[in-house]
């Protein structure tokens, strides 16, 4: 039987392209559940991201700076290997809908097979955030829709500059 580590470190992985209020809600809630939370941006050169890993790191650091127990990092390769390197015993995943669960279950089972000492914990999205995805936010703003309340204000500004060519505020 395994024992609980003295410090429970969790990793919340994702592309965060960009971070949404749904992501931020999970980060806030998880920061109260674990001793340390590492928000880990997946470096995936095969996927065309809107923002670079460095820009996503900056955005995340801006919105989590008030959480002393939250760190922003990036990784490539297998998540469970990165988790083991960082001393994490938990992988945190958010679930918005049943369709998320099916995919996340497959990933969790594969991760358990690769590293049985690392547990996957699912947190359900709050109802207010259950429909928000980075992809949908980008699509809505590209088409001229209002994304206020879907992403942090600083992220909305970056999206407006990147996708709509709006100037930076003085």
Catalytic entry in 56, 89, 134, 158: 134
36 carries an active-site annotation: no
Separation CA 4–CA 71 (nearest Å):
21
CA 30, 5, 62, 93 dihedral sign is negative
129 carries an active-site annotation: no
Catalytic entry in 23, 115, 138, 158: 23
* Neighbouring residues of 147: CB distance < 8 A, sequence distance ≥ 6: 137, 140, 141, 156, 159
Catalytic entry in 2, 4, 47, 168: 47
Catalytic entry in 96, 112, 160, 162: 96
Q: Which residues are tagged catalytic?
A: 23, 47, 96, 134
């Amino acid at each position: 039987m395994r024992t609980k580590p003295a410090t429970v470190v969790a990793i919340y992985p994702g592309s965060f392209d960009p971070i949404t209020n749904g992501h931020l809600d999970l980060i806030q809630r998880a920061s109260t559940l674990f001793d340390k939370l590492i928000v880990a941006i997946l470096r995936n050169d095969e996927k065309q991201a809107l923002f670079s890993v460095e820009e996503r790191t900056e955005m995340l650091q801006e919105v989590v700076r008030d959480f002393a127990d939250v760190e922003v990092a990036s990784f490539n390769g297998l998540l469970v290997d990165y988790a083991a390197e960082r001393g994490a015993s938990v992988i945190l995943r958010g679930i918005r809908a049943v369709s998320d669960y099916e995919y996340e279950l497959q990933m969790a089972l594969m991760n358990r097979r690769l590293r049985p000492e690392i547990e996957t914990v699912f947190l359900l999205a709050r109802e207010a955030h259950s429909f928000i995805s980075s992809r949908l936010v980008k699509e809505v703003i590209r088409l001229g829709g209002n994304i206020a309340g879907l992403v942090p204000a600083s992220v909305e500004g970056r999206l407006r500059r990147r996708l709509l060519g709006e100037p930076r505020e003085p």
